[in-house]
Structures are given as structure tokens and as C-alpha cells.
């Protein structure tokens, strides 16, 4: 009988079918079989949840968010349906999911329900040399050498963008001078063209930058574990677009005929220069902030599409309204509905450019309603976009400390077997819900459990637990 009573105490739950859970002062009760539906989770695993067990109150104590626990408990009660409370930010709720260890499958399914794209696993190359080179060029944080490569790449990108901007200064290069150079080259042959080009400092610096970009792209392509995934990666497409204008320009100059129009060549050069501006997106490979921004925009495409749709409706409505409101005014700027599109967009986005404005009373009333509607339209999807940005930013900054978001390691309720003692089979709970007595008597709670730790026995009267000697508070 005494062995059975000791077993009841060591089981932690006194073989009760219900379990009390205290979450920051809010007491919940649920059945053990409800939690046992997910044995791989923290609350579903008896041993993992034992570290939070309070033997004096016979309950679990969790110092966590109470509003989030409502959704967590509903997850167990509903058999796997996870719904985030509307008043809980996404990053806070994700922290709670990690703490309760619901599992990667549950978390990934929750992310898909929230509208986030599925994270793809990127394998590493099997070859050892390729793996080292891949880490060197693809993962700047992997080693000091990779960081040096990343710094060099960023410097080359900055120099390339700086050259792109400086060569448009009037004191350094004029479009007329470029046209005159082209005419001179056609008069004296292609050799004079290349002589002029190779003495251009902008061209020489551009060539050096392109050599580095090409080397970097070829190295990543040669070491990539999946060539198909390499071509599908947006960052690699941007890298390829950064070097393409240079080779297109060279190819155009090599194969063009002498009878070609100089104006055509000048137009091609201008288009190629415009494409070069996209090199600035190469910085996103080395900037976590730009990557987070891109992930946020991709995850918020539905909200952005909704915003554009609302703006489109507002532009049509208010441009039509202001046209008819200003129809009787002689000097009106709204000569047609399409002419009012620009005014409606500027007004709804609260820019207020001022080049077009209504002059009549009815037109001003339409403009006022247009401005108010624009503020409301833009403000509706913004919280969702901000929440997505907060989630990706939180995930990126906390990925290095992911281990801290598992269950909190503490010595307060350490689940350890007593040294040098073998427990009898009869003392173990048949359900596996067993906790060592010594695990409940650490030095941290000795002031409250001092009597129990010194060997005081327990007796049950009327279903209640009593100590034969009173607990002594240690000073």
C-alpha cells in the first residue's frame, strides 16, 4: 500500500485523468488523453513537461503568453487545428509554437495557412572541393575567407554603380560627344573605335567589374549542387543581367555594318545603360535587410494586389467624378477622364503634386473624398505587410539562437534518476508518466520542500495528501 502511495506521488499527476496547467496565473484543465494525441510535443510528452510541474499545487506552471495558450490548447482539443488569435502578432505566436515544440510539420503547415511561401531546402555539393567553393561564394557568413569575398564583391558593385552614375555628368560625358565619336569611327574604321574605347577610363573600370562579376557567376555555377535550381534562383538571374549589357554592347559593335545609322547605335547604347542600373539589386545577395524586404513583398503579393485593385477602382471613380464636376469650367485641366487618372493617383496616394487641381466647389468636394478614400485604401493592407516584415525579420535575427526557443533548461525540476539506486518495476507508472522524487527536491526549492527532501513520509486521508511533519521554512 505504501509503495502504491509512493508511486502515486512519483507519478506527478497522482494518476488523475485531468491535468491542471497554470499559464501566468490563468488556470486551465484538460484531460491527459487530449495531450497524448501529440506525444512528440512538449505537453504531450510526460517527461518533457515534467520540468514545469509544481508538486505543491499539483499543476504545471508555464510563464508564457496566456492568449497564445488558448490557441495551443485548442490545437490539442481539436486534433490538430492551429489558429492564431487576431490580436497576437505573428512573431510572438511563432515563439510560442517553438516553445511548445509542436513539430516542424505543424509549424510549416501553419506558415502555409498564413500565406508564407514554403522554405526550400538547399542541399550542399557532394564533392568536398565544390562544397568549400560553394560555401565561399554563396554563404558569406560561413568563414573569414567567404566574408573577404563578400566584401570584395560589395566594393565592386559599389564601384560599378558609381561609374554608371558619374559617366552621365555633363562635364565627363555628353550624348552629343558619344554621337560624334560614333560618326568619327565610321569615317576612319572600327580600329579607331576600339582605340577610343580602350582609352576611356570608364570603359576600363567597367571591364574590370565585369571580369569579377563573370568570375563570381561562373564559380557559383560550376560548384552549384543543382544546375536547374541555379537557373531558377532570382539572385542568379540578377547576376546574369548585371553582366549581359556589357557583352551585348561588345557584340553589337563587332557585328554591325558600316552602313548602320549612328542614331541607331546611340539608341542601343542608351538602352544598355538603362539596363545596367539593375546591378544595384546585386547588393541584395550581401544584405539581409534587402532579402527580408524581398521575402516580405513576395509573401504580401495578395495584399499588394488587393491594394492595386482598390486604387484602380478609386482612380476610375474619382477621375470620372471630377471630370463631370469640372465640365462647365472653362479653364479646367480635366479635359477628359484619362487626363484625370494622374490627378486621382496623386491624390489617393496623398502626394498632392499640384499640377492639376479642381477649381469648382463640386470638384473640390470630389477631391476631398478622393483624398479620404486614398488614406483608407492604403492603410487597410499595411498592417498585414508590416506583420509579414516583422515575421521575416524576427526569423532572420533569431535563427542563430534557435536553440534558445526550445524548452527552457532549468535545474528546478531536473528529470534525473537517483544515483546508485535501481527503481523497482512496481514503482514505475505503467503509462510511462514517471518522475524521479529527487528531481523535485533541488536546492532551489529546498525552502518550500525541505521537509519532503529530508525523508518525511506522505499519507493519504480522504484523497488528500498530508505530511506527517510540518514543512520547515529555512532561513
Q: What CATH number did the domain enclosing 33 receive?
A: 3.30.710.10
**40 and 169 share a domain?**
no
Residues of the chain with pLDDT under 70: 1-16, 115-122, 173-199, 253-273, 398-475
Q: Residue 64's pLDDT is what?
A: 92
Integer Cα distance of 134 and 216 in angstroms: 11
Q: Structurally, how many domains does the chain consist of?
A: 3
Do 155 and 63 belong to one domain?
no
Distance of CA 347 to the CA centre of its chain: 32
Quick check: is 114 in a domain?
A: no
pLDDT score at 18 = 85
Residue 395 domain-assigned (yes or no): no
Are residue 85 and residue 208 in the same domain, yes or no? no
In a shared domain, residues 43 and 87: yes
Q: Give the model's pLDDT for residue 173.
A: 60
Establish if 449 belongs to a structural domain. no
The answer as to whether 390 is a domain residue is no
Same domain (yes/no): 257, 170? yes
Its domain, for residue 318, covers 301-380
Task: Name 458's bridge partners.
Answer: 467
Q: How many CB atoms lie within 10 A of CB 463?
A: 6
Residue 72 lies in a domain: yes
Report if residue 460 sits inside a domain: no
Domain end, chosen from 286, 319, 340, is at: 286
Do residues 372 and 306 both lie within one domain? yes
pTM, two decimals, is 0.56
Write down the pLDDT at residue 11. Answer: 47
pLDDT score of 438: 42
User: Rounded CA gap, 441 and 73, in Å?
Assistant: 29
462 within domain boundaries: no
243 and 197 within one domain: yes
- For residues 232 and 355, membership in a common domain is answered with no
- Strand pairing report for 18-23 and 26-31: antiparallel
Pick from 264, 272, 220, 266: which is nearest to 243 by CA? 272
CATH code: domain of residue 260 = 1.20.120.350
Same domain, 68 and 182: no
Amino acid at each position: 500500500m505504501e509503495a502504491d502511495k509512493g508511486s502515486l506521488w512519483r507519478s506527478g499527476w497522482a494518476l488523475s485523468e485531468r491535468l491542471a496547467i497554470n499559464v501566468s496565473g490563468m488556470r486551465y484543465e484538460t484531460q491527459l488523453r487530449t495531450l497524448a494525441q501529440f506525444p512528440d510535443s512538449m505537453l504531450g510528452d510526460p517527461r518533457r513537461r515534467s520540468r514545469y510541474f509544481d508538486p505543491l499545487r499539483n499543476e504545471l506552471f508555464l510563464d508564457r503568453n496566456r492568449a497564445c495558450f488558448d490557441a495551443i490548447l485548442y490545437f490539442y482539443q481539436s486534433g490538430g487545428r492551429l489558429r492564431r488569435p487576431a490580436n497576437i502578432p505573428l512573431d510572438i505566436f511563432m515563439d510560442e509554437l517553438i516553445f511548445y515544440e509542436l513539430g516542424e510539420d505543424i509549424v510549416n503547415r501553419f506558415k502555409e495557412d498564413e500565406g508564407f511561401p514554403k522554405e526550400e531546402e538547399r542541399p550542399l555539393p557532394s564533392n568536398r572541393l565544390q562544397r568549400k567553393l560553394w560555401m565561399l561564394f554563396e554563404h558569406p557568413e560561413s568563414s573569414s575567407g567567404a566574408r573577404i569575398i563578400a566584401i570584395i564583391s560589395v566594393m565592386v558593385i559599389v564601384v560599378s554603380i558609381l561609374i554608371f552614375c558619374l559617366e552621365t555628368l555633363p562635364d565627363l560625358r555628353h550624348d552629343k560627344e558619344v554621337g560624334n565619336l560614333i560618326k568619327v569611327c565610321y569615317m576612319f574604321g572600327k580600329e579607331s573605335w576600339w582605340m577610343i574605347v580602350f582609352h576611356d577610363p570608364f570603359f576600363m573600370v567597367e571591364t574590370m567589374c565585369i571580369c569579377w562579376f563573370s568570375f563570381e557567376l561562373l564559380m557559383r555555377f560550376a560548384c552549384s549542387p543543382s544546375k536547374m535550381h541555379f537557373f531558377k534562383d532570382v539572385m542568379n538571374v540578377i547576376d546574369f543581367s548585371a553582366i549581359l549589357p556589357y557583352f551585348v554592347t561588345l557584340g553589337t559593335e563587332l557585328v554591325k555594318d558600316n552602313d548602320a545609322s549612328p542614331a541607331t547605335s546611340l539608341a542601343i547604347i542608351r538602352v544598355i545603360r538603362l539596363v545596367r542600373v539593375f546591378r544595384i539589386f546585386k547588393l541584395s545577395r550581401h544584405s539581409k535587410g534587402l532579402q527580408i524586404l524581398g521575402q516580405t513583398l513576395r509573401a504580401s503579393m495578395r495584399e499588394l494586389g488587393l491594394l492595386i485593385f482598390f486604387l484602380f477602382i478609386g482612380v476610375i471613380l474619382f477621375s470620372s467624378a471630377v471630370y463631370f464636376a469640372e465640365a462647365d469650367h472653362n479653364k479646367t485641366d480635366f479635359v477628359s477622364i484619362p487626363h484625370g487618372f494622374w490627378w486621382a493617383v496623386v491624390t489617393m496616394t496623398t502626394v498632392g503634386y499640384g499640377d492639376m487641381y479642381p477649381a469648382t466647389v463640386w470638384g473640390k468636394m470630389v477631391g476631398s473624398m478622393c483624398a479620404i478614400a486614398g488614406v483608407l485604401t492604403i492603410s487597410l493592407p499595411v498592417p498585414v505587410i508590416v506583420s509579414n516584415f516583422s515575421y521575416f525579420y524576427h526569423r532572420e535575427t533569431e535563427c542563430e539562437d534557435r536553440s534558445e526557443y526550445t524548452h527552457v533548461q532549468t535545474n528546478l525540476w531536473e528529470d534525473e534518476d537517483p544515483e546508485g539506486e535501481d527503481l523497482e518495476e512496481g514503482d514505475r507508472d505503467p503509462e510511462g508518466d514517471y518522475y524521479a522524487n529527487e528531481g523535485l527536491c533541488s536546492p532551489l526549492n529546498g525552502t518550500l520542500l525541505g521537509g519532503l527532501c529530508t525523508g518525511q513520509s506522505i499519507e493519504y486521508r480522504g484523497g488528500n495528501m498530508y505530511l506527517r511533519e510540518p514543512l520547515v521554512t529555512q532561513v
